Structure formats: C-alpha cells, structure tokens
Structure 1
Amino acid sequence: MVPNPIGPECIRVTKVYDWVVLTNRDRNKVQIPEECFAAIEDARHDGNTITATCSEVVGTRSCDFIGAIPANIPSVPGAQIVSLAFHVHIRVQFFCNGEPLPGCNFVVPVSFMDEVILCFPEGTEINCNIFDVQCTVVLNQMLGDMVVLDVTMCKDVQVEAEVKLEVEAKFCGPRPVIPIQEDGFVCPTPRFPQQCPTFFPTLNCNCQGAADFSGEATITVREGFNQIGGSTTGQLDLSALVCDQCTLSGSRIQVTYIDTLGPTPTPTPSESELEQSFTFTATDFLQPECFGTTRLEVRGTGVITPAGGTPENADFFITLNDIDPGSDSVSLTIDGPTLTVVIDLTELIHPGLEVEVGDCDRFPV
C-alpha cells in the first residue's frame, strides 16, 4: 500500500474579502399598453371584475458594476463606495372575471441602483447576483393608463479574488524551481490583496431584536430644506430585524407609509396639500448598543424615497423596547437632506405592535 501521510497542502481557491446582502423594495409606475388599457376600460364599463398578476421573467436577472470611489472612513481603511445596478424583467397580466384579457400580457424592465461600502482592495473583483424577486400589482393605485408594481429584490454581493492558501488559511507561494544544470531566471513570489480586518469578517452582535407593525399611525414628516411639515396620519407598515441569528449582516429595516390625503401635515404648506407617502430601506448598520434584554439601539444609513420624488440617502436611528406586558415601543428617526421622518409607536396606542429583544452568545475570544 502506498503511504498517504497527513501534511501541509497548498490549495487554489476563491477567497471572499467582503460579503453583504441587499434588499430593495419600491413601487414602480408602469405604462399599460394602449390596446390593453382600452380592453380594461371596456370590461369595467360592463361591470366585470378586473384582476392582475406580475411575476419575474426567468433568465432576465443581471447585475452591472458601475464604479467605486474611496469611502474615506478612518475606522475602516481600504473601504470603497461601490455603485451597482440590478436589472430584471417583470411580466404583467390582466384578467377579466378570471380569464386573460386580450393584449394584456406584457413585459416591463425594473432596475435598482445601489451604493454600498465594501472592502474592495486592488486585485479583487465584484461578484453580484439577484437571488429572489417578488412582485405584486397594486390595483387600487391605478393612475389613468398607469399601474403600480410593488417589487422586492434581494441581492448578494461578494468581493472575491483567486488566491493560493494553505489549509490553515495562510497565503502560500510557489515552490522553488528545481534547477536544470544551468541557473535560470527566478520569478518573484506573487502577491495577493491584503485583507481588511477591521470590518470583515464581522464580530457577532451582543444582542438581537425585531419589531413589526401594520396599521394606522400618526407620524411626523418634514419636507424641503426649510423642513416644512408636521404630523400626518396614514397606513404604516414597519418591519425591523437587527442582528438576526446574532449576525449584523442579518439586519434589515423596511418602512412603507401611505398618507391619508387631507388637511395633514400641519401646518399645511401654503402652496398645496402634498401627499406625504414614502418608502425607506436600511442598507448599512453599525453594531447595536444593548441595554440588558429589554432595549436595543442601532444607527445606520439607508435610502428614503418620497412619493413621486427622487431617492435620497438618509441616516437612521432606531430604539426597540421590549417591556412586557403591554409596554413595547419603537422609535425611528430617518434624517435625509430634504426629508425627515419621526415615527414613535407604543403598544398601548398601537395594539398591533410587536417587539422582541434578546441576548446573543458570542464566540469565546
């Protein structure tokens, strides 16, 4: 039998320098083809029931690397702000009393732009992909010949480079050349990109928390550089998950607010009463601060998109209080360049509010 002793080995692998998961949710207004819109209007005029579905067209997912600039963050040397574009095609179909409407099966493109801070040293590459797409047609928000699609897109972004590693996870180089009689040229040892140890891989969180609310709520919205606005009441959907499974990358915050049009906000801007609807998605989280097993605070950044407006980057600060029974509360402040939102929810006033905060067991140092 040929001996096979255990010894050090050198392997060629793809090394992950950084890895994040991003989520986008937005409502896109889509033009209905002229033939389809005419068929919808005729069917409605005859008293028929109109329904609609939307779904991803298989094989249309794509991701484009746009560019990168230095992040200039002292605490994370080597970080870059990376711009990415994600694309997918969505099929929309309308039905009359459950039967397909002629000419009402069409495809529209949907795209999201993202900026994310990554460890992206020279010599590495961006590997990004879309791993889930969900779509819903919002029929109660048809605007003339336009229909609103509620699209959620989940993306995976990795920074990679092909390297040679020992099994114990150290870089390795080629063996020395065995000379053949005369000496020859000796190639230099290849150099691999250095890791960014300050922020990837990340430490476990000290605590984790979650909050969920869907219902009517009064919030504060201030718009414009003069921060005009006040309280406004409407439909609020808030979902927060901080350090899911005690991992910072398992964090998300999604807010959708649909304003109930009327004399809000107060005071009313003199020029008109503007709809205060918006969406917000958190994109980056700092490590949370933990106060026992009842309170969690975390800061970060995200993207807020006002109704009919342009998405803008914003800072956020959220506090979760898990005080049973009956005293749970959530406080969320979103501060953008032209839009500031303050949301304060208590279980006493908002009975559907659910908040959970708990400890995390960290790995031993």
Structure 2
Amino acid sequence: MVPNPIGPECIRVTKVYDWVVLTNRDRNKVQIPEECFAAIEDARHDGNTITATCSEVVGTRSCDFIGAIPANIPNVPGAQIVSLAFHVHIRVQFFCNGEPLPGCNFVVPVSFMDEVILCFPEGTEINCNIFDVQCTVVLNQMLGDMVVLDVTMCKDVQVEAEVKLEVEAKFCGPRPIIPIEEDGFVCPTPRFPQQCPTFFPTLNCDCQGAADFSGEATITVTEGLIGGGLTTGQLDLTALVCDQCTLSGSRIQVTFLDTLGPTPIGTPDAEGDQSFTFTANDFNQPTCVIDPVTGLVTGLTATGTGVITPAGGVPENATFTLILADVDPGLDTATLTITGATTTVIIPLNEAVNPGLEVEVGDCERFPV
C-alpha cells in the first residue's frame, strides 16, 4: 500500500478573496405580442379559462461587471462597492383551457442590477454566475397588453486571483451581506492582492497548538480497561489544535500498547492488557493562556469528544481535555485526560521525564509582518 500521510502541500489554485450569495425577487411588466393578446381577448370573450406559465430559457444566463468604487469600511484596504448586472431570458406561454394558444409562446429578457461590498483588491477578478431562476406569471395583475412576471434570481459572486498556496484545506461557505453606507471614501490601493482578514474568511481560533510524542510513558488507566492504576507502555500521541488557526484543522490520535501484561505487546484479548486507541472527532474553541509579562500565548486548553477503543473491547464515546504548555527551554508539558463511559485515562507528559516531547503553542498571527 502506498503511504498517504496528511501534510502541507504547495498548489497553484484560484484563491477566493471574497464570496457572497445574492438573491433578487422582483415583478417585471412585459409586453404581450399583439397576436397573442388578441387570442387571449377572444378566448376570454368566449368564457374560456386562461392560464400561463413562465420558465428560464436554458443557456441564457449571464453576468456583467459594471464598475467599482471604494467602500467606507475602516481598516479594510481593498474593500469596494461593486456594481453587477445579471441577465436571463424567460419564456412565457399562455393556454386556453389547458391547450396552447396560437402565437402565445414568446421570450422576454429579464435583468437585475446589484451593488455589493466586496474585498476587491487590485490584481483580482470578479467571477459571478446565476445558479437558480424561478418564475411565476401573475395573471391577476395583467395591465392591458402587459403581463407581470414574478422572477427570483439567485447569484453567486466571488473575487478571485491565481496564487500558489501551502494549504491544509476545509470546505467554506459565503459570508453575510454587508449593508452599503451612503457615503464612501477613497482608500489606498495595495500593490498586490491582499486578503480582507477582518471579514473574510473569518479566523476560527485565537490561538493554535501542537504536541507530538512517541516513546515509553507511564499513564493512569482506571475503571474499564482490565486492571487499573499506573501502567507503562509504548505511547504514540499526535495532537493538532486549530491547525492553521482553523478549528476544523484539529485532530488528536493516541495509541497505547501495554508492555506490562502477561502477553506480548499489543495483544488485544489478553487479561490485564491495558492497551487502547483514541481518536478525537469534535473540538470546542480552545482557551488560550497568555503570559502577562510578554503578552505571548504560552499555552492552551482544548476540550471535545472522541472515541476510545480498549484492547479487545467495544469502542465507546468519550470526552477529552488537552492542556498544552510551551515553556522553553526543556519544560514543555502536555496532559490529556480521556473520560469514557467505563474508562478514564490520564496521560501526563513533560519534556524532562519524556524526552522527545514536542509542544508548540502560539497565537493566530500566521503571517508575521
């Protein structure tokens, strides 16, 4: 099997600098062709029932960039009010007692103009498209030879540029619309495309941390894994909390092989074997520890849920608490407490007793000036 480890990758991609979804609903009066209007009037005069439908003509969606002016958002260089025009063609058809009326199948254009605040720095481009169109004919609002169409249009607008990134990725979604202020101001134009970090994308975490250890360790296992108390074995622990300052970039994986049982290392069904594995699957926002003198983040506490699987046992849901302290030189500590329905595990690691322990904790200023 070819190894497939998770790690940073350098890729050339279209970077999304901003992304919003817009929805327009409006009633448009459209002219009924002369031949069709005459047929409708004749049918009504004879006491027939007139109905109508409207639908999008496939392949007619389009979006035009009109222009942009600076937006009045303090401390966000690159934010602009962008004007866009969206177009689609709608087919309208009238029926008499359910049968198509002659000359009453025609196409009309429908357009919407939008203004939206976007992070739109120099060097980026607007990519907009219509992803859904709904239409209804409002027959009770026919005005002479005019008919009213109720049209809803859903649009996707992104600001993009091609860049090279080192990434560990997750899915993301659009942000809420920002109300447009009446007054604007001229903001400086950056030389290169710069992100608008104050409103897109939103940083999920205030601090981030990592711990890694592989080697012999003494831990506490009570109530559940056969036996109890202190036990020594081979421990492999990897923890990432808010990797790249993103909560979804968090993971904890623990494997412990008990070496003190009466059977070979890792035998799952041996009496007295206290081996187990643990995988975290959900993380809460971590609590950051800040040094009052330096103002730097020196530790964090992360909590969440996961699954612990004892040797020879059934996987059970568990909660966890991970406490990391980045104290250089040589005083790093990592403590992981896992509490399941029948099992409690405490893993206390410190660099002095457990050589090879690596702990890194910091704030989320990922790109130093």
Normalization by structure 2: what TM-score?
0.47
Q: Provide the TM-score with structure 1 as the length reference.
A: 0.48
